[in-house]
């Protein structure tokens, strides 16, 4: 299970892991609509927030704009790591499987269920995020990586509906999808946002899972260790045949 961030330049390490572990299936944190948009993007924005229908929840449009802005600052397309995972899996003949809920529906439910105060706090936080841009993204990632449990706990207190809709319920949905795939395949790679990794592993605790986190993908030294481990594992498997 690879934990990623959709606005970071991590396509190459994600692609490397998949190409050298030869999965039978690659599972990605996408729904069918987002999958089609990403595959038809031709290296451009998968979805232009300015072209989104007014029927689409405002929180969804704002989130898309923010992700595109942060991705551009990192010199990448939003979701480039997912595109790399899909293309790498296809090169190996792996089945590509979307495991996420429909994003528009999730955000519509989120808008309907958030309390007034939660919406106010979220609006203020979103403004601050846009104001400080990349520095805010980096500080948030550092805070999350330093103490993930505490970070999620604080988020749950501040935004209970948001965490329930965007993390908890989607984890349950994706875990069910993963279980179904594991009835058919033994060797699979799951590519999801880093905030989903621990929750999914807890739900799927009856399955052996090798976790590779975003902080490892972004640190050259740690990624080099992963590359060596994968190569050594491939060589040992080859010697035993």
69 or 179: which leads in pLDDT: 179
Q: What would the two tokens of residue 65 be?
A: 């704009």
For 223, half-sphere exposure in the C-beta direction (CA atoms, 13 angstrom radius) is 16
Q: What is the pLDDT of residues 154-210, one digit of tens each?
A: 999 999 999 999 999 999 999 999 999 999 999 999 999 999 999 999 999 999 999
For the chain, give every domain's residue range: 2-110+163-240
235 or 205: which leads in pLDDT: 205
Whether residue 86 has pLDDT greater than 50 = yes
Which value, to the nearest 10 degrees, does the dihedral of the CA atoms of residues 15, 18, 20, 22 take? -150
The confidence score (pLDDT) of residue 41 equals 74
Q: What is the pLDDT of residues 97-129, one digit of tens each?
A: 999 999 999 999 999 999 999 989 888 777 566
Backbone angles phi, psi at 157, to 5 degrees: -70, -40
Is residue 80 within 8 A of residue 71, CB to CB? The reply is: yes
* Collapsed DSSP state (helix, strand, coil) of residue 105: helix
Q: What is the pLDDT of residues 202-231, one digit of tens each?
A: 999 999 999 999 999 999 999 999 999 998
Residue % of the chain over a pLDDT of 90: 66
The confidence score (pLDDT) of residue 124 equals 79
Backbone angles phi, psi at 2, to 5 degrees: -105, 120
């Amino acid at each position: 299970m690879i934990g990623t961030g959709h606005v970071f330049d991590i396509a190459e390490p994600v692609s490397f892991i998949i190409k050298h572990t030869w999965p039978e299936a690659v599972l990605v944190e996408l729904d069918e609509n987002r999958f089609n948009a990403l595959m038809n993007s031709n290296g451009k924005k998968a979805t232009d927030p300015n072209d989104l229908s007014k029927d689409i929840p405002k929180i969804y449009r704002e989130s898309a704009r923010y992700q595109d802005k942060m991705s551009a600052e990192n010199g990448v397309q939003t979701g480039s790591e997912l595109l790399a995972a899909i293309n790498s899996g296809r090169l190996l003949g792996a089945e590509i499987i979307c495991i996420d809920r429909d994003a528009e529906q999730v955000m519509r439910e989120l808008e309907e269920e958030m309390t007034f105060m939660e919406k106010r706090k979220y609006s203020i936080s979103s403004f601050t995020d846009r104001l400080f841009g990349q520095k805010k993204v980096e500080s948030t990632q550092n805070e999350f990586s330093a103490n993930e449990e505490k970070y999620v706990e604080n988020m749950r207190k501040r935004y209970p509906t948001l965490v329930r809709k965007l993390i908890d319920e989607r984890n349950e949905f994706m875990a069910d999808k993963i279980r179904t795939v594991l009835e058919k395949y033994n060797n699979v790679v799951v590519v999801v946002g880093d905030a989903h990794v621990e929750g999914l592993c807890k739900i799927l605790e009856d399955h052996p899972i090798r976790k590779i986190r975003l902080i490892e993908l972004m640190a050259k030294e740690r990624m080099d260790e992963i590359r060596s481990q994968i190569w050594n594992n491939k060589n040992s498997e080859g010697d035993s045949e």
